[in-house]
Amino acid sequence: MINFTFDGKTYQAEEGDTLAAALLRNGIGLVGRSFKYHRPRGIMTAGVEEPNALVTVGEGGRSEPNTRATDVFVYEGLVAKSQNRWPNLALDFGAVLGLAAPILSAGFYYKTFFGSAKRWMFYEYFIRKAAGLGDAPTQADPDRFSQRAAFCDVLVVGAGPAGLSAALEAAEAGKRVILVEQDAILGASLIRDPQTLNQAWIDATAARITALGARILMRTTASGYWEHDLVTLTQRNAEPGQVPPTGIAQRLWHVRAGQVILATGSIERPMTFANNDRPGVMLSQAVRTYVRRFGVAPGKRVVIATNNDDAYKTAHALREVGAEIVAILDARPEISDVARDAQLKFRVHTNSLPISTKGAKHCLRSVEVDIWTERVVYVADLLAVSGGFTPVIHLHMQAGGTLDWNEAAQAFVPAKSRQNVTTIGGATSPDPIFAVAPVSDPTKSFIDFQNDVTLADVDLAWAEGYRSVEHLKRYTTLGMATDQGKLSNMAALGRLAEKQGVAIPEAGLTTFRPPYTPVTMGLLAGAGAKDGGAHVRRLALYDLHAAKNPIWQPLGYWFRPRAYPIGGETLAQAALREANAVRSAVGMTDVSTLAKFEVSGPDAAAFLEIICATSVSKLAVGRGRYTFMLREDGMVFDDGTVWRLAENRYLLTSSTGGADRMATHISYVRQYLCPHLRVSAVNVQEHYAGIAIAGPTAKAVLASLIGEEPPRHMSTVAAKIAGVPVLVLAASYSGDRAFEVYVEATHATPVWAALEEAVTAKGGCLYGMEAMEFLRIEKGHLVVGGEIDGRMTPHDLALDKMLNKAGGHIGASGLSRPAFSEPGRPQLVGLEAIQGNIPEGSMLVTAEGESPQGHVSAAAFRIVESGSIALGQLTDGFARHGEELIVTSPTRNQQARVRVTAPHFYDTAGARYRD
């Protein structure tokens, strides 16, 4: 025996019981409450289509709300709680909503609660509290979910007789086969109805399939059918709420199949009559399943209502376990052969229907029926119903299939598909039925049980003009519960067709979308749940930085040192000290993340003149220059430097943030636009580590290490530091004399160490990105993502004088568009505080209350002198130098007065970065 609890009380289950079977075994009929009216509900099915018996299973971060009691197998210690009731399941105050049902008709909320949005929110507060079903966990999930990709020749979905046979046949033909079954045991309908194919056949077939090397996945649902025969499988390693033995609760499979065989069977339909939702009303095949599979009889005195032959098997099954069959109500006016045989043992009525049920203590007590024209009441504790069969066509439809209408079964069956998928078995040939339009009180005749949608709701939607099947669904919420209409869709379509006066196929069908059954979010996320799927790239010199315990700054997938505080320094204090070192002596920083491309070949210069908006070809060997790149529409999208290392070999650098898109851009131009050029453009971003060294004594420091005169500004030389070959570029981002040293990333450590030692000896220090910001803002250099925001033209950024006059570069065509030269454009300016400090990101206004004319793209403090300075974009800013403006940040309650200046605050003569 297995112990479990339901609403705090301990019960015993048998090995192999679903929670539903175990509850029935313990005589528990009332399991849940419906969504809208809080009507008492029991167990209606024995499968994944269960709309009523929803419980929360498990505890803490492992608890799973809305778990179908029919789809969880009891394990030792399982904890289940009923939902959507207060104070308890039997006495639920929410049930008063049922009394208001005549008011709360379909779409009632569209017709009331008027007034202001605030007023609606008042009502909404109560609606939200009443809605929902179970409680979500509030803790993080302690378990993991894994994902796996697989390939096979044949994927078989469903391990009933058809699926098992198909899997065996494919395996015998030497195919790679995967067979999946959502249940915990194989056999599907054979478990309920063992005949010639019995348990022995199931076991033997499964053994042969496995022996042939095929894979059988139990407790695995094919939940989504995607493009090109990709099927997602969700596999349970542990039951809901159970501690998984391996730590992995579920696994998501992406299976690319050569062929997919769907042997998914069908789902039995309920019947539509008044109070058909009462605990004790159960699908006929479900009753049989509980009797035959679990050895539990869900009732002692049973009425069976059917419109087909299948339900007679239920009568026999119940009789075998000693239940009393009060009557069999057969909707068909003429007696079938099966019914005639049954008459020998049972009271069978033709042309008879259930009209309503009555209950006591939330259990079924009696069934009111119409037999021909006579109204009769039967006392019964179980009503088994069979309204026909709905083939499980979900995957076929997700795959983009078409349907045929099977008139005898009143059911859609799979027809064609544009993917390589075939449906076999019961889903292709549902049993014939005799369809009867519902006749009893429509206001109590439920079709969507969970969402409490009745026939009257469908009728109202129709009367109000919501006549397309999609309008009907959306207006009434039909088919939108956790079972996604598995039980309700056909009943609704039947009513809709009746109203339209057409056959069901003409009434339309809603789209089938993944998933077939609800899928745990953690499973979809997999390992990505931890960090949102974002990876981190680690600097080559990471360990050296980490040893100094810097403040890190995220930048895309990189983390770079923002500052290296000493003692109790704040970020700003550290950054100012570091920047001061650069201005007064020397500092060094890691610039490894810059984008870097090595461009070589006879057409290298021609290629670069397409990529870069500045001229490149006139560059002498050993020289470099600033450059920028345009997007195809003419906007500036990146900048950097280009260096001619040899006759036909160049190094191009650009921003860290734009590195990936620049790599794609360069690849596009090379591979697609200019395949004819004799050029190689290789992304060497992570091949080289980069170290910048800047300050008045940078040259002396470098000279001592490379043993020769360092290159002059915008020149390059190959050298060695600490015995390691390096490339030295003389370029300044900071505004002081500066160099960038590039070294193969795997050999960067000794170079960094040698530089650090020399820098420290000269009274210098490391500096981080914050100091770099201070330095470049003071110098008026641009940054991608700041001043270069993708909306600025070369002219807006005062770069137009550097444009390659010859044109021919990407983006040149966009520059002649008229709006680029019209007044009113944002233009790059400097801002100098007259009063207060300038907040970064704040707005530029002429007077308080005016609409902004620009904004502050970057703000800093003068490094050596004091004062707040900034770069900004200002409408027609070039002509406004000297003008006084207000910068304002209402969200931060900050303001300053500023003067518009040129965007250069340091060494405007450009003397300090040259020798």
- Applying the rule CB under 8 A, the residues between 596 and 615 that interact with another protein are 610
Of 580 and 842, CB closest to another protein: 842
Under DSSP, the state recorded for 791 is: S
Three-state secondary-structure class, residue 372:
coil
Say how far apart CA 544 and CA 756 lie, in whole Å: 11
Tell the smallest beta-carbon distance from residue 573 to another protein (Å): 16
Q: Is residue 115 a contact point for another protein (CB under 8 A)? A: yes
Of 348 and 497, CB closest to another protein: 497
Q: How many CB atoms lie within 10 A of CB 566?
A: 12
Residue type, 632: E
Q: Is residue 415 a contact point for another protein (CB under 8 A)? A: no
Give the number of residues in contact with another protein, rule: CB under 8 A: 138
Site for another protein (CB under 8 A): which residue of 59, 324, 632, 865? 632
Site for another protein (CB under 8 A): which residue of 27, 213, 533, 763? 533
Of 764 and 872, CB closest to another protein: 872
Site for another protein (CB under 8 A): which residue of 16, 26, 79, 124? 124
Q: Return the residues of window 62-81 that contact another protein according to CB under 8 A.
A: 62-66
552: left (phi over 0), alpha (psi -120 to 50) or beta: beta
Site for another protein (CB under 8 A): which residue of 437, 521, 806, 834? 521
Site for another protein (CB under 8 A): which residue of 15, 87, 114, 374? 114
Site for another protein (CB under 8 A): which residue of 520, 584, 648, 715? 520
Give phi and psi for 282, each to the nearest 5: -140, 150
Neighbouring-strand partners of residue 249: none
Of 17 and 64, CB closest to another protein: 64
Of 124 and 744, CB closest to another protein: 124
Tell the smallest beta-carbon distance from residue 142 to another protein (Å): 10
Residue type, 789: D
Alpha helices in 654-697 (DSSP H): 659-668
Residue type, 834: I
Q: Return the residues of window 217-256 that contact another protein according to CB under 8 A.
A: 224, 226-230, 232, 252, 254, 256
Residue 348, H or E segment: strand 348-349
Say how far apart CA 726 and CA 749 lie, in whole Å: 12
Q: Which range of residues in 137-145, 364-372, 639-647, 713-721 is near another protein by CB under 8 A? A: 137-145
Q: Is residue 734 a contact point for another protein (CB under 8 A)? A: no
Q: Which range of residues in 1-9, 189-197, 307-315, 806-814 is near another protein by CB under 8 A? A: 806-814
Of 327 and 610, CB closest to another protein: 610
User: CB neighbours of 606 closer than 8 A, spacing ≥ 6?
Assistant: 617, 677, 679
Residue 590, CA distances (Å) to 21, 388, 609, 745 in order = 65, 72, 29, 12
Q: Is residue 634 a contact point for another protein (CB under 8 A)? A: yes
Radius of gyration for the alpha carbons in the chain, expressed in angstroms and rounded: 38
Beta strands in 601-746 (DSSP E): 624-630, 636-646, 649-654, 680-683, 688-694, 716-721, 724-729, 738-744
Asked if residues 832 and 823 have their Cβ atoms less than 8 Å apart, the reply is: no
SS (H, E, C) 281-322: EEEHHHHHHHHHCCCCCCCCEEEEEECCCCHHHHHHHHHHCC
Site for another protein (CB under 8 A): which residue of 221, 484, 593, 697? 484
Q: Is residue 121 a contact point for another protein (CB under 8 A)? A: yes
Give phi and psi for 176, each to the nearest 5: -80, 120
Say how far apart CA 889 and CA 302 lie, in whole Å: 75
Angle at 641 between CA 640 and CA 644, to 5 degrees: 155
Q: Which range of residues in 323-331, 472-480, 728-736, 828-836 is near another protein by CB under 8 A? A: 472-480
Q: Is residue 148 a contact point for another protein (CB under 8 A)? A: no
Q: What x-and-dash track marks residues 753-792 binding another protein by CB under 8 A?
A: ------------------------------------xxx-
Site for another protein (CB under 8 A): which residue of 12, 27, 59, 129? 129
Nearest CA among 790, 810, 815 for reference residue 669: 810
Site for another protein (CB under 8 A): which residue of 208, 365, 474, 899? 474
Three-state secondary-structure class, residue 488:
coil
Q: Is residue 501 a contact point for another protein (CB under 8 A)? A: no
Give phi and psi for 805, each to the nearest 5: -60, -25
- Helices 469-476/455-463 angle, 10° precision: 120
Of 14 and 464, CB closest to another protein: 464
Q: Is residue 482 a contact point for another protein (CB under 8 A)? A: yes
388: left (phi over 0), alpha (psi -120 to 50) or beta: left
Q: Is residue 513 a contact point for another protein (CB under 8 A)? A: yes
Of 27 and 132, CB closest to another protein: 132
Q: Return the residues of window 679-718 that contact another protein according to CB under 8 A.
A: none
Site for another protein (CB under 8 A): which residue of 12, 198, 199, 468? 468
Q: Is residue 86 a contact point for another protein (CB under 8 A)? A: no
Of 370 and 603, CB closest to another protein: 603
Tell the smallest beta-carbon distance from residue 358 to another protein (Å): 22
Q: Return the residues of window 821-850 that contact another protein according to CB under 8 A.
A: 839-843, 845, 850
Q: Is residue 268 a contact point for another protein (CB under 8 A)? A: no
Q: Return the residues of window 20-39 that contact another protein according to CB under 8 A.
A: 35
Neighbouring-strand partners of residue 874: 827, 854
Of 406 and 804, CB closest to another protein: 804
Q: Is residue 464 a contact point for another protein (CB under 8 A)? A: yes
Of 127 and 437, CB closest to another protein: 127
Site for another protein (CB under 8 A): which residue of 10, 196, 816, 866? 816
Of 458 and 728, CB closest to another protein: 458
Tell the smallest beta-carbon distance from residue 151 to another protein (Å): 10
617: which 2 tokens? 């070809």
Q: How many residues are given for the chain?
A: 915
Q: Is residue 94 a contact point for another protein (CB under 8 A)? A: no
Q: Is residue 515 a contact point for another protein (CB under 8 A)? A: yes
Q: Is residue 126 a contact point for another protein (CB under 8 A)? A: no
Residue 664 CA, distance from chain mean position? 26
Q: Is residue 502 a contact point for another protein (CB under 8 A)? A: no
Under DSSP, the state recorded for 827 is: E
Q: Is residue 554 a contact point for another protein (CB under 8 A)? A: yes
User: CB neighbours of 452 closer than 8 A, spacing ≥ 6?
Assistant: 34, 35, 36, 37, 39, 446
276: which 2 tokens? 């058909």
Q: Is residue 572 a contact point for another protein (CB under 8 A)? A: no
Site for another protein (CB under 8 A): which residue of 93, 109, 320, 910? 109
State the residue for tokens 């450590």: 749
Q: Is residue 671 a contact point for another protein (CB under 8 A)? A: yes
Spatial strand order of the sheet with 382-386 comes to: 281-283, 382-386, 301-306, 324-330, 348-349
Say how far apart CA 434 and CA 494 lie, in whole Å: 13
